[in-house]
Amino acid sequence: MGHVLALAMQKGGVGKTTTALSLGVALAERRWRVLLIDIDPQANLTQGLGADPSQLEYSVYEVLLNPERGSAFATLSTDAGVDLIPSSLLLAGAELELAGRVGRELLLRKALRAAREFYDYILIDPPPSLGIFSLNALAAAHHVLVPLQLHAYALKAMPQLEQTIELVREINPGLAIGGVLCTLADRRTNLCHEIEQQVRERYGPLVFRTVIPMNVKLAEAPIAGMPINRYAPGSAGAQAYVALAEEIEQRLAPGGSHER
């Protein structure tokens, strides 16, 4: 059975999507079977893989509306070596459509039941706001991956996230923090080192040894519609996500059978 990991941070622009995509392709290069799920109406992950959200037949929108169908019908294979359940423009309206539905936080979890057998890692990329999409991501996940941008107020957003995780545990009791990832690090500055130190003191072994540097190639790759391992394989950003994939593997090796 594969691991289901949700990126989470109720703050925009901290590297959730970049991490889902770059970590996903790094794990796929290491021969794990990887499914990426874009459950954000911004559709950044979908576009980062070169797909056009307005041209897709099915998306995560149909998956949420028909969870009993499973998720395979909306899953695309990509030439990046990962499978993708894309987002679509329709998703923006789904929040209202689902508002009256009983069990609306558990739709993704239900839809993914069968998929867990076919993948080693399933990575879910939600929007920054705590709405129905983020709740579906957290309710479906075993582990939360928390990207923390290394700047002065990095730790300020954590109490809110911890409250959210506590709340979601009422419907998903096993939910745990799988790791805290320092991102967008400018290690030339003292401030960055100080903040990293604070994060490590506060979260100890939960913090990945790997730190993702600020690297312009990581920002350029999605504009080119290519994952970082194809756009700039030798870049510091690409190498950092390979190192993160190795750490994830050590921490969260998938159980059951897999082809390596």
Ligand X SMILES: Nc1ncnc2c1ncn2[C@@H]1O[C@H](COP(=O)(O)OP(=O)(O)OP(=O)(O)O)[C@@H](O)[C@H]1O
What is the contact surface with ligand X in residues (CB under 6 A)?
Answer: 12-18, 40, 42, 44, 127-128, 183-184, 212, 214-215, 218-219, 222, 237
Q: Closer to ligand X at the Cβ: 67 or 179?
A: 179
Tell which residue, 154, 152, 134, 153, has the closest CA to residue 144: 134
Half-sphere exposure of 145 (CA within 13 A, CB side): 31
Q: Closer to Mg ion at the Cβ: 95 or 246?
A: 95
Residue 34 Cβ vs Mg ion, minimum distance, rounded to whole Å: 18
Q: Which does 46 bind (CB under 5 to 8 A by kind): Mg ion, ligand X, none?
A: none
Residue spans of alpha helices (H) in 181-235? 190-203, 216-220, 228-231
Q: Closer to ligand X at the Cβ: 67 or 133?
A: 133
Binds Mg ion by CB under 5 A, chosen from 2, 9, 14, 16: 16
Q: Which does 13 bind (CB under 5 to 8 A by kind): Mg ion, ligand X, none?
A: ligand X
Residue for token pair 């080192």: 193
Helices (H) and strands (E) in the chain, counts: 12, 8
Q: Closer to ligand X at the Cβ: 23 or 67?
A: 23
Binds Mg ion by CB under 5 A, chosen from 8, 9, 17, 133: 17
Query: Can you say how many angstroms the Cα of residue 218 is from the centroid of all Cα atoms in its chain?
Result: 16
Q: Which does 126 bind (CB under 5 to 8 A by kind): Mg ion, ligand X, none?
A: none
Is residue 73 within 8 A of residue 58, CB to CB? The reply is yes
Residue 160 Cβ vs ligand X, minimum distance, rounded to whole Å: 14
Cβ atoms within 10 Å, residue 260: 7
Cβ atoms within 10 Å, residue 29: 18
- Chain contacts with Mg ion (rule: CB under 5 A): 16-17, 44
